[in-house]
Structure 1
Amino acid sequence: MKKFFRGAGFYLLIFLIIISVVQLFGNQTQEIRDIPFSEFYQNLKAEDVKEVKFVDRRITGTLKSTNETFTSYLPYSINEESLSSEILKQAQEKKLVVTGEPVPATPWLIEILPSLFMILIFVVIWFVFMQQSQGGGSKVMNFGKSKAKMHKGDEKVKVTFKEVAGLDEEKEELEEIVDFLKNPKKYIELGARIPKGILMVGPPGTGKTYLSKAVAGEAKVPFFSISGSDFVEMFVGVGASRVRDLFEQAKKSAPCIIFIDEIDAVGRKRGAGLGGGHDEREQTLNQLLVEMDGFGVNEGVIIMAATNRPDILDPALLRPGRFDRQVLVGSPDAKGREEILKVHARNKPLAEDVNLKVLARRTPGFTPADIENLMNEAALLTARLNEKTIKMDTIEEAITKVIAGIPKKSKVISEKERKLTAYHEAGHAVVASLLPHTDPVHQVTIIPRGRAGGFTMILPTEDKYYATKTEMEEQLVHLLGGRVAERLVLDDISTGAQNDLERVSAIARAMVTKYAMSEKLGSMAFGDSSDEVFLGRDFTTRRNYSEEVASEIDREIRRIVDEAYHMTEKLLSDNIEKLHGVAKALLKYETLDAAQFQKAFAGELDLTDDDLESSDEAKSETKEEIGQFIDETISSETVSDTPSEIKLDDESEKEV
């Protein structure tokens, strides 16, 4: 009810009532006919006028015959003597009642009443507009007010620590903060000081904001949430004012928690751009630094922030006393992915053949956001097939769809391009199987997906946290497998290896400049290792090596790539029959899973012309045998936590 009185509807209702009253009383007045003076004079001569009233030169009267009220005006050109004599004559004979009154002076208040009424209408409209525009914290006339949303402790927040899976260590760090707010006495007795700030760092989609929501649900204290971009506006001084207002509100509600999402929008390094120290963003950062740890005391106010770019934050923001603790929220391991899958599969009807442990093994490198998207895609595919439960095959297809895109089976591809793609992908797969330190092939396909004409999917078999020089050299060989296969078999090369060559160049340059894996250049890193994106810093940064060393670096990179190319050429030349066998299998089946690829690699698949025309029954029997082989392979494989490597011919570079 209160919202109605403050809204636009209340004022509109009042306006309509006023209009209705005016119309109602206005219609009650008696209708008066306006007649010309000539007609009035004729009626006067005919003694048809019962009474007449004079107000200045305005004449108002009533007719005897019709009892009608009329009004008329005495023109200035008419002589009043004849009219006066006739009126006085009839008045003496008591045939006419004559009255009159002086011209009334209109009060000034009545004269300005229409103007006041219009001004009042505009004031009401402006007031309603201002009230409506204040919703959501974006007050029109209060630019300096904080936009933080306050969540009180008694509100029902759906997300709690029970809803967070796969982040056990991160939850322990934040549970300590929540416990301090609930039971500060046991910490104070030991002389402990709770960290003033908690900075959650990690790649996108790992659950930083989700963890903050869980803290809001568990803390039972006021929780202020705001984005880093909400501080800065086009008006100078607004950001600093909003920071002050935010901390003033927090101090009044202490103990409480302030959460700043994407703090890198306001906390970037000072002096890194083309602007000077009077930049609006820097003023906002300075005020934030003072409020977090300055002369003022913020007892009971804990700052939480999240970012995926900690390298660009100002060092003064990261020092102890401001953000005392950094919590790394990374990609979950196999156990964590399994727990996350259980959370997102809780409200979905899964078939009996779904094995979450196997799915966790199939999704290395997936973040919680990726897993949630994966289960949603599986549910959408199931609905598209008009099925009631989500099957294992559907989830497997969703994994491939999330990684590489939707299959373009309707795309018309010439036989020449199919053959080129088959040998290109076969080159990747064969080389990967021949190298001792490369992970096994999980799937090879020549069906276009997304922007890729085909891809080779490789899944790791063990946890890997570092890459050795041998493994990186073998990765170069594996990436060059497609280009070398085209050269050997087709005696030509194509543009399909663009992504492979870009990754080869990047890996080789990193080996030389970042990881010092070149014996000729010694154990020294070259170039700036930071990934600064500030224009001003790029202008002032100089490389830490000479032109002569730059030439040596280029020669070393070329040597590493050339050696990898020759090794790839030797491997495929010595195993040319395996290359032909896998390529023919791809031309026949278009997609090979792990078991099919192993049979094609070993030459166990019969790929004669008669077999190419075999019936669908024979193909289904082969698929059943492959399915049994996959189950045995999965049960014997080691669970892995490292990201999968996917070769996409025309897609951007994937992380390994």
Structure 2
Amino acid sequence: MPETPPPPGSTPPEKPGSWVMLVLWLAVLLSLLSIFLADTGPSTETVSYSAMKEIIRERDVSAAVIAEHEITVTIGTPGAADSVAYRAVLPVQDGESLLATLENRGVEITARAPEGVSILTYLLPWLLIFGAIIWLNSRMTGGLGGARGPGNLFSGRFSKPTERRQRVTFDDVAGQDEVKREVSELVDFLREPDRFHRVGAEAPHGVLLMGPPGTGKTLLAKALAGEADVPFFSTSGSEFIEVFVGVGAGRVRKLFEAARKAAPAIIFIDELDSIGRTRGTGLGGGHDEREQTLNQILAELDGFGEREAVVVLAATNRPDVLDPALLRPGRFDRHVTLNLPDREARREILGIHARKLPLAGDAGLDAIAAGTPGFSGADLKNLLNEAAISAARRGGAQITGADLQDARDKVMMGTVRTLAIQPEEHHRLAVHEAGHAAVAYYTPGADTLYKVTIIPRGRSLGGTHMLSEEERHTLPEDYLRAQIVTLLAGRAAEKQLIGTVSSGADDDIKRATQLARSMVGRWGMDPEIGPIDLRQNEDHPFLGRSMAMPRIHAEQTAAQVDRAVMSLLSAAEEEATATLAAHADEVASLIAALEEKEVLDFEEIRRCLDPESATAAAAP
């Protein structure tokens, strides 16, 4: 059964490791104390051997103590306040003559046996080493489940199921209706496993949740455990890896053992790709800690009994790098893909995250959902948090639509920067962004303009932002060509209206080149090259595999791809230049308005580029 936390106000039980550490440190202190107190006699002055011989001849020596390698003489009555002791190293070859001199003078001579070394002195280094090992282990394993101490080195670093303060259910997961339907049968299996066993059915041993970061893989796993109301063991793939070989495999065993005892239960392993990468692909050999941990996970997935109601969930955003043995039937044989939310799903996600926020009405959540294509659930949550911060900064009691719009611009475009921009550079920025906006407005198939600005935000000095009117799952060729034309329009405007180009087109050229190369080498959109995959090999996740993989096409083919890409980019730039020349007056009006206001929305852009259409739209 799952462990429950101690009641409030109770004293937590003592940890076994703390007693071990206390005994060790007491032993160390006793050892040090015995060394310091080993010689507690009266203070003695150390002199040279020559001075010692002079003292014996000239002074009244009352007593002498000869040890193994030294001699100590006392002047005056031993133990008296005015007595003085001198110590010197005793040479072996001159010891007999010195003894004869002392006997002739009638000095009382005492021989002292060699001092033995305390056994604690021999044990002290080993006690220190053993104590350091236990301390390091307690630092590595403490606070992550289980008690501290040597026995906890192989215990699982996973969060033990406790009494949940807030239960997460499928109602807290928005925008993934198909995924929830796909995993809902696991809830029935965990609630009533006997009903499935009666007909010989077995639940999937492993369910792999795949999707981009922030799409809710961890949240879905928690919701599944909340719906089934079973213990939830969560951990991360990196938690199994340690500096000691074999620790990861031991922790895997402990994790699965704890889940079996608490069955029905759910095990959730986040970031599975950190330990589940394909084996034998590195340069340093295959026998390492990560692969041993992966082998143990494979063995544990095969080791579930027929009546053990334990489901293993794992999340990754890199399913392409996972070892094939993880994905075969009987292990992670069910794959659930979580995609980025569409417009309706984004509105649902915003509604869930905004439940506890003081919104002014709906604060335009529909407009925010429409204006955030490509945002994940985590991005939308972050947007609402930024809006709340903006409202708090201005001292408002509610989050308004303006706060949401500012937060959206901040997330998409970056924070506003204050830069001292010269008038010439200010004009060039206006020309560049006006070129993007004008060509995007006049080019059929391009995305709808949202806003154009020459205020520095983030790493950019300005930006032209567009929104897709519809959710696109495939990219048509005419749409991609319109994208490339729009990207190169800023550079074309600078070249046409100013006469020179600048480094401001760096990112535009990079993105346009990537699109053109994908069109030619991946999607077969060049009529001469045709439908053939000519991608580079840099997307392979392993250095060993990448180095061992030869080029898959000839040098002549690569040169042909380069020529096709350059031809596509040159044609796009010529088209952008022609569009700007055909609407020179409208572009000049847009540049002037942009230099004056620095930020223009769609209606203001349309009034500059298409006054008649703007007037007709404004008429009642």
Per the shorter chain, which TM-score range?
0.7 to 0.9
Q: 1-side partners of 2:572 and 2:218: how far apart?
A: 43
1:127 CA drift (Å): 12
The answer to whether residue 190 in structure 2 is matched with residue 181 in structure 1 is yes
CA distance in 2 between counterparts of 1:11 and 1:534 reads 44
Does residue 587 (structure 1) correspond to residue 595 (structure 2)? The answer is yes
Alpha-carbon offset, residue 194 of structure 1: 1.3
What is residue 449 of structure 1 aligned with on the other side?
457
Residues 1:126 and 1:520: Cα distance change in structure 2 (over 3 Å): closer
- How far apart, CA to CA, are the structure 1 residues paired with 2:391 and 2:563? 54
Equivalent residue, structure 2, for 1:499: 507
Structure 1 residue 148 and structure 2 residue 148: aligned? no
- Backbone CA RMSD of aligned residues: 3.7
Q: 2:143 aligns to what?
A: 136
Residue 391 of structure 1 is aligned with which of 397, 400, 403? 400
Counterpart-to-counterpart distance in 2, 1:333 and 1:495 = 36
From 580, 589, 605, the counterpart of 1:597: 605
Q: Output aligned runs, 1:240-319, within 5 Å.
A: 240-293=249-302, 299-319=308-328
Query: Is 1:327 equivalent to 2:336 in the alignment?
Result: yes
Separation in 2 of the partners of 1:462 and 1:122? 68
Whether 1:480 aligns to 2:488 is yes
Number of paired residues?
521
Report the CA distance between 1:499 and its aligned residue: 0.2
Structure 1 residue aligned with 2:569: 561
Query: Which stretch of the first structure deviates more once superposed, 191-200 or 497-506?
Result: 191-200
Once residues 196 and 610 of structure 2 are traced to their aligned partners in structure 1, the CA distance between those partners, rounded to angstroms, is 65
CA distance in 1, matches of 2:532, 2:307: 46
Matches within 5 A, 1:306-385: 306-352=315-361, 354-385=363-394
- Does the 8 A contact of 1:527 with 1:544 survive in 2? no
- 1:529, CA displacement in angstroms? 7.0
Aligned ranges 1:145-224 → 2 under 5 Å: 145-152=155-162, 155-224=164-233
Distance of aligned partners of 1:235 and 1:124 in 2 relative to their CA distance in 1, 3 Å threshold: closer
Distance 1:380 1:113, change over 3 A: same
Change (3 A) 1:534 1:132: closer
- Which has the higher mean CA deviation after the structures are superposed, 296-305 or 226-235? 296-305
Other structure's SS at 1:143 match: helix
Compare relative contact order (CA 8 Å, sep 6+) and give the higher one, 1 or 2.
1
- Answer whether contact 2:202 2:306 (CA < 8 A) is retained: no
User: Offset of 1:185 from its aligned partner?
Assistant: 3.6
CA contact (8 A) 2:494 2:501 kept: yes
CA deviation string 1:113-132 (max 9, x = no partner): 999xx99x999999996996
Matches for 1:425-440 after TM superposition, within 5 Å: 425-440=433-448
Deviation at 1:439, TM superposition (A): 1.4
Give 1:528 deviation, angstroms: 5.5
Equivalent-residue separation in structure 2 for 1:3 and 1:155 (angstroms): 20
Q: Is the 8 A contact 1:430 1:579 kept in 2?
A: yes
Q: Which segment is superposed worse, 169-178 or 532-541?
A: 169-178
Q: Distance in 1 between matches of 2:555 and 2:128?
A: 72
SS in 1 for 2:299: helix
- How far is 1:353 from its partner? 6.4
1:412 to 397, 417, 420: 420
Structure 1 contact 222–255 (Cα < 8 Å) conserved = yes
Question: Alpha-carbon deviations, 1:585-630, whole Å to 9, x = none?
Answer: 1011110001111111124799xxxxxxxxxxxxxxxxxx99x969
Please state how far the C-alpha of 1:9 moved relative to its aligned partner. 11
How far apart, CA to CA, are the structure 2 residues paired with 1:123 and 1:461?
67
Aligned-residue offset at 1:412: 1.7
| Aligned amino acid, residue 136 of structure 1 | G
After TM superposition, the score normalised by the length of structure 1 is: 0.73
- The DSSP-based 3-state class of the residue aligned with 1:225 is strand
**Amino acid of the structure 1 residue aligned with 2:154:** G
Distance 1:294 1:389 in 2: 55
Q: Which stretches in structure 2 are left out of the alignment for 5+ residues? A: 1-9, 27-77, 84-117
Matched, 1:532 2:540: yes
Between the aligned partners of 2:290 and 2:353, the Cα distance in structure 1 is 39
Q: Highest CA radius of gyration, 1 or 2?
A: 1
State the distance in 2 between where 1:341 and 1:222 align.
29
Q: Which letter maps to 2:503?
A: T
Q: Distance in 2 between matches of 1:267 and 1:3?
A: 37
TM-score, normalisation: structure 2: 0.77
Residue type matched to 1:147 in 2?
A: R
Structure 2: which amino acid aligns with 1:473? R
Distance 1:236 1:396, change over 3 A: same
